[in-house]
Structure 1
Amino acid sequence: MIPSRLTLCNFLSYRYSVALNFESFHLACLYGDNGTGKSSLLEAITWVLWGKARSSADALIHHGEEMMWVDFEFEQDGRKYRVIRKRSKKGRGSSELDFLVYDEGGWSSLSGATLKETEEKIAEIIRLPYEIFINSAYLRQGHTDEFTTKPPVQRKKILGEILELEVYENLSQKAKEIAKQDESEEEALSRSILEIEENLKQKPAFQKELKEAEGQLKKKEGLFNSEKTQLDSLQKAKNEYDLLAQKEELLSRQLAQIQKEGQRLKDEIEGLKREISQAQDLLKNEKTIKQKAAELKVLRQKDEEVQGKLLKLNRYQEELGRLKAERAEVEKKIAQIEKIDRCPTCLRPLSKKEAKEIIAGLRQNAEKEIFEKLKEVQDEIQKIDYQPEEHQKIKNQISQLLIFEEKEKELALVQQSLKEKKKILQKSQSELEQKRKQYSTILKQRTESSQKRVKLEPIHRQYQEQERKLSHLWEELLEAKATCGAFKQRLLDLSSQEALLQERRQKLEEIKRKRIVFEQLAGIFSKRGIQAMIIETLLPEIEEEANRILEKITDGRLQIRFITKKEKKSEEGETETLEILVSDNLGERSYEMYSGGEAFRIDLAIRVALSEILSQRAGGKLQFLAIDEGFGSLDEAGKEEVVEAINALTEKFAKIIVVTHIPDLKNLFPFRIEVTKDENGSHLNLVSF
């Protein structure tokens, strides 16, 4: 992957649209003070290609803005590609990703239906995962000499981290965990198998007990059938006994019903006799009853006459009371006039003459309208001649004779119903006689049935005894069957356990084989396994490639050699190590003996060699190199040697960018990308010499 052009907007410290044309240079220095945004350009490349950077996507958006985008063009295998990634914080946030390729007709889309599909297509083209890129194409500050400056015993660990061998360590740990789980399952299965084997040892005893139980069952079945036959022989007599008992019960119910009906008829006859006797007694007094009833009628007529007088008297007395009240009112007015000398109506003063005239007028009117009527009413009251004592005497006589009125009515009804009651009495007496005869017949039948049943009583008791005996035998038979069933079930369970035992033994063998495989895999993927093998395999390649780089950047003055094992001092055998021996015109010495520019050249050669091996393993070709180092500890000569060494790498890489904030270095490169920052964000300026 060779960068062609990078354009970004609102990305980290870059607020406005900023573009960097990589086609203008082969080797350039990316210069600026700390915090101006140098490393942000390289992070823009990782974000646009893989969607990954040091922070989340929303945190990468320039402060105060809602949206950012990065547009990146690059070459891969002779073709031009373009990736545009956008991110917006609006709403719940949204992302866009476009992937294009350039052909004769211009840019055409390679994007998938989804963002994930598009990222997968980009990965297929560049063939360089994010983790490989940041460990190969992007040499971050402090990482160039990370491998070489560590003690020999730690270099293999650092090399494993650079080569991302932790994936194998993770696989080794996972294999160990699975093997441990299988070991626990083995133990559980082994315990289960031992338990089943112990249970299966009981099978011969269960088989013996089942045989004995089946013998007992057969014996009890024979005895039960024999007793059942004997019971069946008594069944006919028992049925006859039951029928006679049922007949007796039925006849007893019939007798009780006849007794009930006979008592009802007796009560009915007694009642009819009383009613007929009463009727006959009533008929004997017929003459007296009619005579008294006639006297009652006469007395009622007299009572009506006297009652008329009483009503008339009451009316006259009411009239008399009214007239007396009017007379009293007139006397009251006359007394008022005589006393107050005023008109009783308008209350005006009156003279004695006027008062006398008014009083005379009132008395004249009263004489004419009241006193005459009052005398007439009093005369009429005298004429009525009402006697209260006589009237009360008549009422008492009527009260005493009322009973004869009722008896006269009853007499008429008795004369009509006496004949009918005599017929009913005769019929009831006939029915009672029939019931007596029916009762005697049924009583005789019940006695005969009881006598027959008594004769069968011994057989019935024998049947009951045999039935109880058979019931007891049936319980024993059921118990024997249950015992046989229990032993059969136990044997069935043991048969199931035999199949389960076979299954668990087979599973145990499978788990054992699986555990052995994962234990072997744990060893294979461990540091002493495939990780060591990869390191042992790659070290010669790294050594060879580093020496080719050293050949170019030191004019053949320096060569390196890796030592992975050395003899133990205190005992026999070898110990693991990773020493770096450097050969120059003075001979072969340890890496630790070198410093300054020579040490940097060795570090650079080994680190670039590692980067190339990493990219080759990923299936890609490393054509872009970004070196982010401080170089602050180098003297002037060392800095020139650094630039000279980096210039020597231009034949291996299409694009090289060196990131620094040291002013002395910026003029040592043919091109300089200056990064500055103000209140409007970061800015770029490409300067050539």
Structure 2
Amino acid sequence: MIPLQLNLKNFLSYREASLDFRGLHTACICGPNGAGKSSLLEAIAWSIWGNSRAGTDDDIIHTGTTEVCVDFTFQCDEQILRVRRSRQRGQTSTLEFQIATSEDELQVQFRSLTERSLRATQQKIIQHIKIDYETFVNSAYLRQGRADEFMLKRPSERKQVLASLLRLDEYDRLAEAAKERSRDYKAQIQLLQQNQQSLETQLEQREETLEAIATVEREILQQQQAQATDQDQLQQYKVSNHQRHTWQQQLSWLQSNLDQLTRECQRIEQEQKHSQQRQQELEELLGQEAEIHQKYSEFEQLQAQEQVLSDKLHAYQEAQKERSQLQEQLTNYLSDLKSQQQQIKAQLEALEQQKKELQNTLGQGAEVAAAMTELEAARTRLASLDQLQTKAIPLIHRRQIIQTEVVSRRAHTEARLAEIVSQINRLQVQQQTAVQVQQAVQQVSLQIEDLEKKRIYQQRVREKGLERRNFMERLQAQLRDREVQLADIEQKLRLLQVPDAICPLCDRPLDEHHWDLVAEKHQAQQQEFRNHIWVLREQLAVSEREIQLLRDEYGKLNRELAGSDNLQKQWGGLQAQLNMTATERERLQKIDREKAALERSLKTGEFAGDLYTELQQIERALQELHYDEKNHALARSDVERWRWAEIKLAQIRDAEKRLQSLKNREPELVEKLENISNLIEREKTESFLHQKLVKLEQKIEQIGYDFAEHKAISAARNKAQVWLTRKEQLRQAQQDYPQVSSRVKEVTKRLLERLQDQEKLRQQIDLIQEKLKECPDQTVAIKNLEQQIAQRRHQLDLALAKLGQLQQQQKHLEDLSQQKHLIKHQIKEAKNQYRVYNELAIAFSKKGIQALMIENILPQLEAETNKILSRLTGNQLHVQFVTQKAGRSNKKDPKLIDTLDIVIADARGTRPYETYSGGEAFRINFAIRLALAQLLCTRQGTRLQMLIVDEGFGTQDRQGCDRLIAAINAIAPDFATILIVTHMPQFKEAFQARIEISKTAETGSQLLLA
């Protein structure tokens, strides 16, 4: 993996940063501690794998921002890839993965490889780069503080560290899986062997089953023959009864038809009677034809006279209506004129009243003139006082402000004093309760310790319950097995009770002696199984009681432990109160001093000293002006007291004008009143409406409508209305009479035909009744014979069921025989698999493939480490990995112990790692770490093209630093990019390419490529 471009936004200490790695081979990332050097490299790991040293993903977001984004472009296996990972604060991350489709230097085109989910996209990235985060950290990225991790472990732990780095823990999982599979196969072998033994026991019943099948088949044949004879006799009886049943049905049908025909004859007779009656009624109506025509003519004459009178009534009503309307119009018009006459009279009366009131007002002129003189004098005095007020108002206003401010300051000071007194009282109470809080803390601590002991006891109770539950499951499995075996023994004992029973073991006939031996043996086994089942059930009952007791105890402990969280919270609250006690004591002393100062200020007036001085100056200035608000108020009241004269003078002038107007209006109203009175008199006798009313009265007399005559003719017409109905009935009778006569003849003919059919049916019924007497009823015989056949059928069914059961049992025994051969083959296969997985478990264990792989890798690691170390130390240091050493024993040939010691040699010989100086130890760590990195990448199937060295070089002297620089330059051709993180000046100057990191509070971390 070769870096090309890195863009950061709000990542850790960076806000906006961009770094182009193109052209950089060996570069130094330098800057002060905490500037963000390691954060730059953390960004690469977070963008590709989503891992960082931060506790949560939100912690990597720059303080004060809500979104982080890292865009990293790199080259891997001749392909240019791009990864972009971003995250919103409090939300999930988003991940994009792209591959370059063109390598244009100006602009690279990318194609998306992003999957639907973040996990799938992450997996695809790892498939392309062929390295996961753990391998990257342990190979390409030499992180701060981890160079000596391998060396500081004990020899017994170094193999585990090396196995972890080499990802050999996968073999532990395989070994455990192989052990699990071998245990499964072992249990399967035991189960199959038990099944095989059970099958062999059941197959002993085969011969006995065959003999029982033959016996049952003979019984079935005999019963089937007897059944066939009875079936033939039953068939004959059923044929005879069937013929009898057919005749009975015919007889029933004929009787039904006869009844129906009888009812029809009765209906036709009734219909004939109604038709003849209708014919007679029509003949009577036709005989009254002349009378009906005469009465109908009289009805038409009355109807014509009634129509003439109705027309006169309509004309009379219209004229009466028009007369009423004209009378109403004339009345309304005269009423309006009289109303106008009354209004004018009221206006003349009001005019006279107003003239009297205005003359009274004009009589007050002398009094108003004297009052106006007093008003002018009062206004002169008020103007002089207003001038003095203009000068005094600012001073009075300022005096009010100062007085308000003094009151406000006093209230504020008193409120602060009251607040301080309240705080002092509260703090004193809290100081008094400190001892009680201390005692409460001790008491709660004891309760928490007691609950912790109960929690440990509860865990033991739970483990005990699980143990008893497992024991019960094993007992239940044994109980089921014994019950199956007991059922098998009881089945064999039932077979022995059958006469001429065969041996259930060898399938041979048994004589009396051998029968007793076999029965005694099976009965003994039966009793043994029953005893064992009884013991198992007793053990199950005891275990159930123990589990119930443990469950009750566990529930009781649960209830007792339910308040542990509240106790912890209570302890925390009490502890916080104790911690606050000392702080509050100091605060109480400070508040006491402030209280004394406030009381002194209120007593002496210090809280408003400047305001009191200014208030005295204002009082002196007001005294010099000789301005008195009381005199000013009296002057204003004098002006207000004489102001009525000004208003009254205006009223007198207005009264003069109004009086002249009233005198001008009076003649006009008198003339208007006379005109309206004359008009009223003329309208009563000479108006157009009056003349129209006279003409209407004449028209009403010409109509000549008589109400009594109209009423008499209407009554006569209504009485003759009945002949209109009789005329319609006569017309309908003339139409219906031919049809009714024809209907009478037709009904008489149909009645004669139905009486002839009735006689024929009676003759057929007599014939069938004679045949039924000759054929007896066989129902009882059929019922008896069917019961006999059903009983035999039941017996036959039982025999067939028994035969089917025996045949099924025989088939089952054949299946068991095949199953026995199959189980035998499965046992063989299971044993083979058990051996295979048992050997695999040993092979995958730490003493198998893992130990072998470490043994094979250590020479490579040792050679690569010494190669690098020789460059760093000038061939002064050499390491050797020792995997076995002799144990502590007094025997002649002590046992070898597996270990992983690191022997370090210099010019003076070998000595422990701890005795070397910090610079020497760092060079040893660096060599081993770099060798491990190259080895891990080789095993991962990829080349280590980028190396990041983020280790502290402060332990190196000048010569050690020079050798480190020389070593890095020496291994540089093996890598495409090497990044060294340091803050040492000699390292900054040793490399031409430098990435300088700086950090300020305003801009965050910034980088500069030099």
TM-aligned CA distance change 1:607 to 1:246, over 3 Å: closer
Q: CA offsets, 1:329-373, max 9 Å, x none?
A: xxxxxxxxxxxxxxxxxxxxxxxxxxxxxxxxxxxxxxxxxxxxx
Q: CA offsets, 1:147-186, max 9 Å, x none?
A: 1221111110011111121222223333334444555555
Kindly report which structure 2 residues correspond to 1:483-494, keeping only aligned pairs within 5 A, or say none.
483-494=802-813
The offset of 1:460, in angstroms, is 8.7
For 1:607, what is the secondary structure of its paired residue? Answer: helix
Q: CA offsets, 1:474-524, max 9 Å, x none?
A: 221222122212222333444455555555555555555445444433333
The CA distance in 1 between the partners of 2:816 and 2:16, in whole Å, is 78
2:69 corresponds in structure 1 to 68
Kindly report which structure 2 residues correspond to 1:296-335, keeping only aligned pairs within 5 A, or say none.
none
Instruction: Answer yes or no: is 1:676 the counterpart of 2:998.
Output: yes
The CA distance in 2 between the partners of 1:461 and 1:598, in whole Å, is 124
2:888 corresponds in structure 1 to 569
1:419 corresponds in structure 2 to none
1:544 corresponds in structure 2 to 863
The offset of 1:539, in angstroms, is 0.3
Task: Tell me if the contact between 1:29 and 1:673 (Cα under 8 Å) persists in the aligned partners.
Answer: yes
TM-aligned CA distance change 1:167 to 1:595, over 3 Å: farther
Correspondence for 1:134 among 126, 134, 137: 137
1:659 corresponds in structure 2 to 981
Instruction: Answer yes or no: is 1:474 the counterpart of 2:797.
Output: no
Correspondence for 1:214 among 217, 233, 251: 217
Deviates more, 1:553-562 or 1:183-192: 183-192
The CA distance in 2 between the partners of 1:475 and 1:246, in whole Å, is 32
Kindly report which structure 2 residues correspond to 1:169-188, keeping only aligned pairs within 5 A, or say none.
169-184=172-187
Q: CA offsets, 1:353-405, max 9 Å, x none?
A: xxxxxxxxxxxxxxxxxxxxxxxxxxxxxxxxxxxxxxxxxxxxxxxxxxxxx
Task: Tell me if the contact between 2:46 and 2:52 (Cα under 8 Å) persists in the aligned partners.
Answer: yes
1:146 corresponds in structure 2 to 149
TM-aligned CA distance change 1:623 to 1:213, over 3 Å: same
2:11 corresponds in structure 1 to 11
1:26 corresponds in structure 2 to 26
TM-aligned CA distance change 1:51 to 1:461, over 3 Å: closer
The offset of 1:657, in angstroms, is 3.5
Correspondence for 1:608 among 930, 934, 944: 930
The CA distance in 2 between the partners of 1:522 and 1:447, in whole Å, is 103
The CA distance in 2 between the partners of 1:118 and 1:244, in whole Å, is 92
- Of Structure 1 and Structure 2, the greater strand share is in 1
> Among the aligned pairs, what percent are the same residue?
32
1:622 corresponds in structure 2 to 944
The offset of 1:194, in angstroms, is 5.0
For 1:485, what is the secondary structure of its paired residue? Answer: helix
Kindly report which structure 2 residues correspond to 1:265-664, keeping only aligned pairs within 5 A, or say none.
466-498=785-817, 506=825, 509-570=828-889, 573-630=895-952, 634=955, 637=957, 640-641=959-960, 644-653=963-972, 654=975, 655-660=977-982
The CA distance in 2 between the partners of 1:504 and 1:28, in whole Å, is 72
The offset of 1:604, in angstroms, is 1.6
2:444 corresponds in structure 1 to none
The offset of 1:531, in angstroms, is 1.4
The offset of 1:562, in angstroms, is 1.4
The offset of 1:464, in angstroms, is 6.0
TM-aligned CA distance change 1:243 to 1:520, over 3 Å: same
For 1:469, what is the secondary structure of its paired residue? Answer: helix
TM-aligned CA distance change 1:553 to 1:220, over 3 Å: same
1:42 corresponds in structure 2 to 41
The offset of 1:557, in angstroms, is 1.9
The CA distance in 1 between the partners of 2:781 and 2:8, in whole Å, is 116
Kindly report which structure 2 residues correspond to 1:79-118, keeping only aligned pairs within 5 A, or say none.
81=80, 83=82, 85=84, 87=86, 89=88, 94-100=94-100, 107-109=107-109, 111-114=111-114
Task: Tell me if the contact between 2:142 and 2:950 (Cα under 8 Å) persists in the aligned partners.
Answer: yes
For 1:17, what is the secondary structure of its paired residue? Answer: strand
2:468 corresponds in structure 1 to none
Task: Tell me if the contact between 2:878 and 2:905 (Cα under 8 Å) persists in the aligned partners.
Answer: yes
For 2:150, what is the secondary structure of its paired residue? Answer: coil
Correspondence for 1:157 among 160, 167, 191: 160
Task: Tell me if the contact between 2:28 and 2:988 (Cα under 8 Å) persists in the aligned partners.
Answer: no
The CA distance in 2 between the partners of 1:118 and 1:463, in whole Å, is 87
Task: Tell me if the contact between 1:99 and 1:118 (Cα under 8 Å) persists in the aligned partners.
Answer: no
Bigger Cα Rg: 1
TM-aligned CA distance change 1:82 to 1:220, over 3 Å: closer
For 1:652, what is the secondary structure of its paired residue? Answer: helix
Task: Tell me if the contact between 1:137 and 1:611 (Cα under 8 Å) persists in the aligned partners.
Answer: yes
The CA distance in 2 between the partners of 1:250 and 1:102, in whole Å, is 104
The CA distance in 2 between the partners of 1:438 and 1:20, in whole Å, is 127
Task: Tell me if the contact between 2:43 and 2:70 (Cα under 8 Å) persists in the aligned partners.
Answer: no
TM-aligned CA distance change 1:677 to 1:228, over 3 Å: same
For 1:70, what is the secondary structure of its paired residue? Answer: strand
The CA distance in 1 between the partners of 2:189 and 2:150, in whole Å, is 44
> Which runs of no fewer than 5 residues in structure 1 stay unpaired?
263-426
The offset of 1:659, in angstroms, is 3.1
What count of residue pairs does the alignment treat as equivalent?
517
The CA distance in 2 between the partners of 1:241 and 1:135, in whole Å, is 105
Task: Tell me if the contact between 2:884 and 2:899 (Cα under 8 Å) persists in the aligned partners.
Answer: yes
Q: CA offsets, 1:286-330, max 9 Å, x none?
A: xxxxxxxxxxxxxxxxxxxxxxxxxxxxxxxxxxxxxxxxxxxxx
The offset of 1:62, in angstroms, is 3.1
For residue 843 of structure 2, what is the amino acid of its counterpart?
A: I
The TM-score, its normalising length taken from structure 1, stands at 0.61
The CA distance in 2 between the partners of 1:242 and 1:127, in whole Å, is 95
The CA distance in 2 between the partners of 1:230 and 1:474, in whole Å, is 16
The offset of 1:250, in angstroms, is 8.6
The offset of 1:551, in angstroms, is 1.8
Q: CA offsets, 1:535-567, max 9 Å, x none?
A: 111001001111111222222222222111123
TM-aligned CA distance change 1:68 to 1:181, over 3 Å: same
Task: Tell me if the contact between 1:111 and 1:121 (Cα under 8 Å) persists in the aligned partners.
Answer: no
- Of Structure 1 and Structure 2, the greater helix share is in 2
For residue 479 of structure 1, what is the amino acid of its counterpart?
A: L
The offset of 1:608, in angstroms, is 1.2
Task: Tell me if the contact between 2:72 and 2:83 (Cα under 8 Å) persists in the aligned partners.
Answer: yes
For 2:151, what is the secondary structure of its paired residue? Answer: coil
For 2:919, what is the secondary structure of its paired residue? Answer: helix
The CA distance in 1 between the partners of 2:784 and 2:925, in whole Å, is 114
Q: CA offsets, 1:40-62, max 9 Å, x none?
A: 11122223444544467665443
Task: Tell me if the contact between 2:999 and 2:1005 (Cα under 8 Å) persists in the aligned partners.
Answer: yes
TM-aligned CA distance change 1:54 to 1:182, over 3 Å: farther
TM-aligned CA distance change 1:675 to 1:115, over 3 Å: farther
For residue 45 of structure 2, what is the amino acid of its counterpart?
A: T
Indicate the RMSD between aligned Cα atoms, in angstroms. Answer: 5.1
TM-aligned CA distance change 1:460 to 1:584, over 3 Å: closer
The CA distance in 1 between the partners of 2:763 and 2:100, in whole Å, is 123
The CA distance in 1 between the partners of 2:200 and 2:30, in whole Å, is 78
For 2:161, what is the secondary structure of its paired residue? Answer: helix
